[in-house]
Amino acid sequence: MTNRVELKPGVIYFPQLLDRAAQESLRDEIYAAIHSAKLFQSTMPRWGNPMSVKMLNLGPVGWVSDKSGYRYQATHPVTGQNWPRIFPSLLKIWDTLTDNYAAPEACLINYYSATAKMGLHQDRDEEDFNAPVVSLSLGDTALFRIGTSERTGPTQSIKLQSGDGLIFGGPARLDFHGIDRIYKETSTLLNEGGRFNLTLRRVTKPHL
Ligand code: SIN
Ligand code: MN
């Protein structure tokens, strides 16, 4: 079993959950998905200014953000196509880390260039908060920060490296979190540099 470090109740860090071979095969699956479905540029609600990360989703629904707000929807906002399926390799990781919780319905793929960041936010557009969010990192190291369910609560920071896993659930499910910076050229996994982060989410409440 892989290393499991509880950073605080509900936040579990799995350093090097994926070995290099697993990272390479996940990377190649991501490249194939992007080749067919294309990353899109999200914008912030209200003002519509572009986010610095580029996104794609896998699964029956995907998270999107535009002038009218945040939501899950079944189709790609640019092409109108359904999202690609969640890879079986990801479903397996989800089952292991969530102890076989009902299958995830969305996998958000964020691509960070060396200058991209993500401001502190909560993941709360899901109906079901019983499942944790499962996060996987590939490529350059990132400085991840997580606080409490209040925007101004104390935060702790951790560097997420290529192959690392992290889950936040239970008492930490609604904690504010974000990416303060990317450490350029810290990984050789991605030819173009930068970082992919994948977050697997259960969106609807599971049927009994
Ligand atoms: C996110 O909160 O959607 C992404 C977090 C990360 O990039 O590690
Ligand atoms: Mn998030």
Residue range 10-34: average pLDDT? 98
Question: What's the full length of the chain, in residues?
Answer: 208
Spell out which residues line ligand 1, taking CB within 6 angstroms. Answer: 108, 110, 118, 135, 144, 160, 177, 179, 197, 199
Give the residue whose CA is nearest to atom 8 of ligand 1.
Answer: 197
Identify which of 58, 199, 195, 56 has the alpha carbon closest to the alpha carbon of residue 138: 195
Bridge partner residues of 41 (DSSP): 54
pLDDT in tens, 105-161: 999 999 999 999 999 999 999 999 999 999 999 999 999 999 999 999 999 999 999
CA 26 distance to own-chain centroid: 14
| Ligand 2 centre distance from Cα of residue 51 (Å) | 13
Determine the 3-state secondary structure of 143 from DSSP: strand
| pLDDT at residue 1 tops 90 | no
**Domains parsed from the chain with CATH numbers:** 5-201 (2.60.120.590)
